[in-house]
Each structure stands twice: as structure tokens, then as C-alpha cells.
């Protein structure tokens, strides 16, 4: 299955016996489970990442459930339930948002929780902005009117409301997707905005609740997209967890790069 193929891929990379490692075997197995990614055409890296994380979560979740069942066969139903919602993927990547929705008529406040593995951030400028600008845009309060009105339980009807998101549980590894592909004048295009992102001390406390468990992060990887809507090329920058050196992964070319090269206009996914 794809989880086994992924494990072999990671093992080959960390053993260091090759100048580079091709994910051909993993791609072949994964493509059978997700036929949309089997074709050798360009796909969205964010969509692929979410599918990979979901697939690995399901595989590891099933293994954990089976182990629990074996240890507690007298209470198999409870053991399956206790292992059904968590895995190493959720422990590393899953965070929790809370949307505070306030009715503008009766002022009643309700909270709607929502889990996430990737935060898709709007880019509020066409020339240059910072990651903090993107976060401010994502977490700024919004007003729901007309077709977007809420049905207020307390008022008993559709009402205008405000909604504001906050992080109630920060994941160990947080992934940001910069929404470079946007609609403008009924046409979809790619934004080439320079987004400046910090290498360390990314502070999420302004967007988090008081009880949030983790607030500051350091950059560990970047996925880049060069090109336009219908064509392009993906590369990656990754920081070695031991040496702290940065490396560029460009097909069969793996090269050590200076820290200054990691800040790129082509950044599409950021891993902290």
C-alpha cells in the first residue's frame, strides 16, 4: 500500500546511500489509490499534500486500531473508537480553529470548531507583503450578510452576523498554503507577489486563544512553484534537522544553498 511505499521512500532518503532518490515507486502505488494523480500532468502541490496526509492518516489509524483491538479484545468496540480519530499524522499536523459567530441583532455568540492540517492564506497585495500580512487577512473579522446570513438559534431567524477565527490548538508542524492562484475579473491567474516569511520566531499568539499550547515556530521547508496556471515546475527547500543547513531539491539536483536563497518569490507552501 501507499503507506509502505512512503516508508520505503523516507528510509531511502535518510540512509544516504544515493545522490538522489526518485519517488517513482510511491507515485505508482499512490496513483492507483488516487487516479487523478496517476497522469503525468501538472497537479496542485497543496491538493496532493492533503491527499497524502489523509491517506497516511487512514493507514496509521487502522494499524493503531488493530493493535488496540488485539490488546483489549474484551472491549473491541471501545478500542476501535479510541483509536479511530488519531494517528501520528494528526499528532504532528492537525490543529484546531474556532469560529466565533456573533448575531448582530441579539449579540448572541456561538463557537464553531474546525480542525485543519493546512491553512490557506489569502495574499492581500499584488506586489509585496509579509506572511504576517497574510495571517492578519485570514484572521480578520468578517461580516455575513444577505445570502451569507446565519440562522440564529436565539432570534429564531436569519440574521446578519460577524465571524472571527482563532487558533485553539496549534499543531506541532503548521503548514501554510499561499493562495497564489486567484480569481480576478472572472479570470483565474497566478499572483507573483513577493511574500516575506520569517525563518524563526514566527509568533501565532495574536491569532490564538489564551489556552493555545504552542505559538512560536521556525521554518523547516518550502515548496516552490515556478511558472503559470497551466504549466510550471515544483522545487523544494528543506532544512537538515541535524546540521541546520538548507538544501534545494530540484528533480535529480540536490544542492546545499545559503540561507539567503531560501527567501524566494516562488514560495507556495511553507512548513513551520
Each residue of 169-217: pLDDT tens digit?
Answer: 999 999 999 999 877 777 788 999 999 999 999 999 999 986 666 668 9
CATH of the domain at 187: 3.90.70.10
Give the pLDDT band of residue 62 (cuts 50, 70, 90).
Answer: low
Q: What is the pLDDT of residues 15-40, one digit of tens each?
A: 988 889 999 999 999 999 999 998 77
Residue 253 shares a structural domain with residue 133: yes
| Assigned domain for 55 exists | yes
Burial track 94-120 (b if 16+ CB lie within 10 A, e otherwise)? bbbbbeebbbbeeeeeeeeeeebbbbe
Is pLDDT at 82 greater than 70 in this prediction?
no
Element (H, E) at 9: helix 2-15
C-alpha cell recorded at residue 207: 491569532
pLDDT average, residue stretch 2-16: 92
Verify that 136 and 258 share a domain, yes or no: yes
Residue 214 within a domain: yes
The parent domain of residue 16 ranges over 1-66+87-93
Number of domains in the chain: 2
Q: What value does the mean pLDDT of the chain take?
A: 89
The answer to the question of residue 99 being in a domain is no
181 within some domain: yes
Same-domain pairing of 135 and 256: yes
Which pLDDT belongs to residue 156?
A: 87
- Reply yes or no on whether the pLDDT at 79 is more than 60: no
**Are residues 132 and 230 part of one domain?**
yes
Q: How far from 228 is each of 246, 266, 267, CA to CA, in Å?
A: 26, 11, 13
Owner of C-alpha cell 513551520: 272
89: CB partners within 8 A, 6+ apart: 53, 56, 57, 60, 117
Query: SS3 for 221?
Result: strand
Amino acid at each position: 500500500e501507499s503507506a509502505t511505499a512512503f516508508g520505503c521512500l523516507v528510509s531511502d532518503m535518510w540512509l544516504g546511500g544515493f545522490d538522489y532518490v526518485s519517488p517513482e515507486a510511491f507515485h505508482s502505488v499512490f496513483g492507483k489509490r488516487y487516479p487523478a494523480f496517476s497522469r503525468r500532468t501538472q497537479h496542485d502541490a497543496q491538493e496532493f499534500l492533503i491527499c497524502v496526509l489523509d491517506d497516511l492518516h487512514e493507514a496509521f489509524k487502522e494499524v493503531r486500531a488493530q493493535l488496540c483491538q488485539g490488546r483489549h479484545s474484551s472491549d473491541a468496540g471501545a478500542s476501535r473508537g479510541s483509536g479511530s480519530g488519531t494517528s501520528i499524522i494528526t499528532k504532528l499536523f492537525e490543529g484546531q480553529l474556532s469560529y466565533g459567530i456573533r448575531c448582530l441583532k441579539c449579540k448572541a455568540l456561538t463557537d464553531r470548531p474546525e480542525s485543519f492540517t493546512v491553512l490557506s492564506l489569502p495574499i492581500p497585495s499584488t506586489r509585496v507583503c509579509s506572511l504576517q500580512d497574510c495571517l492578519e487577512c485570514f484572521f480578520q473579522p468578517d461580516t455575513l450578510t444577505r445570502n451569507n446570513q446565519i440562522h440564529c438559534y436565539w432570534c429564531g431567524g436569519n440574521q446578519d452576523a460577524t465571524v472571527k477565527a482563532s487558533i485553539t490548538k496549534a499543531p506541532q508542524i503548521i503548514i501554510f498554503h499561499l493562495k497564489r492562484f486567484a480569481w480576478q475579473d472572472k479570470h483565474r491567474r497566478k499572483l507573483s507577489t513577493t511574500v516575506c516569511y520569517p525563518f524563526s520566531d514566527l509568533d501565532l499568539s495574536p491569532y490564538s486563544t489564551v489556552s493555545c499550547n504552542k505559538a512560536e515556530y521556525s521554518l523547516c521547508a518550502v515548496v516552490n512553484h515556478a511558472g503559470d496556471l497551466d504549466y510550471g515546475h515544483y522545487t523544494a527547500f528543506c532544512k537538515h534537522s541535524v546540521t541546520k543547513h538548507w538544501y534545494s531539491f530540484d528533480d535529480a539536483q540536490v544542492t546545499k544553498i545559503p540561507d539567503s536563497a531560501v527567501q524566494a518569490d516562488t514560495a507556495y507552501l511553507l512548513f513551520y
